Amino acid sequence: MAAPPLCLSFPDVEAAYGRISPHVHRTPVLTNSHLVSLSSRSNVLFKCEAFQRTGSFKFRGATNAVLCAKEACPELPAVVTHSSGNHAQALALAAGMQGVKAHIVMPDTAPRTKLEAVRDTYKAAVTLVPASERQSAADKKLAEIPGSEFVHPSEDPRVIAGQGTVCMELMEQTEEQLGAGSKLDVVIIPVGGGGLASGNSVALRGKWGRDVKIVLAEPAIVDDAKRSFDAGELVKNGPEKSVGDGLNTQLGPNTFPVIKANVDDIYTVTEDDILRNTRLVWERMKVLIEPSAGVGVAVLLSDAFKAKYPPAQFPNVGVILCGGNVDVVDVAAKMAKLP
């Protein structure tokens, strides 16, 4: 029996790239001699989505979703979502830029910095509920506002296509930095809900085909992507939470098939590894990434990754630094307790 069609294709990502480019930042690609030396690679290109509007890649997907919704319904009254923070900020700003009200349901455990940004900076209406009640609260809000649209943080195909524009830029910037016709051998992408990973796997396969290896990076204590990938079917996380709070979400029925079709490997890393490598980027690159972004750096420098993807055969690596919305005091306190 043939596999069902995936929720998006490369033309969807290309269309999103053209649609959102006037509204999003073309984020920088940086390198660092110390991290390159530690990796033993010839080149490591860090795609710095911490410099994106609202501080993460999420603004890309949110912008594409809002623009698509407005194209379909010019009088769109509101968009609704549930999110722990980064998608909440992104949708609030994207909607506001298009004159659409955003209603955000957030867990009552959301980081303070993200809550304040959503409510105070981007002027969204916020409802705080226990994490288990997020979907029901969002459904209630949708029922209260006729014509409003739900924009899922990772399962909405419009969001996934928008996230794929990270690597559309990275592929162009690779040629700018390494020379015309240059390609990366491996791209490392953090994975939580899977929107970033699935959208960019489609982008990479669509433009570079199987010449590039696509590797996902995940906290070991919330490793549903790794376990689902190995089992060939969706499995769930337990109650544990990672310091990489943006990755505490799970794959879904739209993102998992895309990842299964396109990804080569998924590596997991410990909480201590995440904190150490986040600190390494702070100290050496002077980029204030959040721990969710440190997960990819931890995989890059891990023995397991080096063993399967030896530097001599895979000299050029890209790493997506997915965001920079971090409670510095809280994370620094955790770093101070590292052995």
Active site (catalytic) residues: 58, 84
Rounded to the nearest angstrom, the gap between the alpha carbon of residue 286 and the centroid of all alpha carbons in its chain is 21
Those residues whose C-beta lies under 8 Å from the C-beta of residue 136, and which sit 6 or more positions away, are: none
Q: How far apart are CA 79 and CA 156, in angstroms?
A: 13
Q: How far apart are CA 276 and CA 291, in angstroms?
A: 9
3 state SS of 26: coil
- Looking at this protein, which amino acid is placed at residue 273? D
Q: Cβ distance 35 to 45 under 8 Å?
A: no
Helices (H), the chain: 10-20, 33-39, 58-72, 86-97, 112-116, 134-144, 157-163, 165-178, 195-208, 224-231, 255-262, 271-285, 291-300, 303-308, 328-336
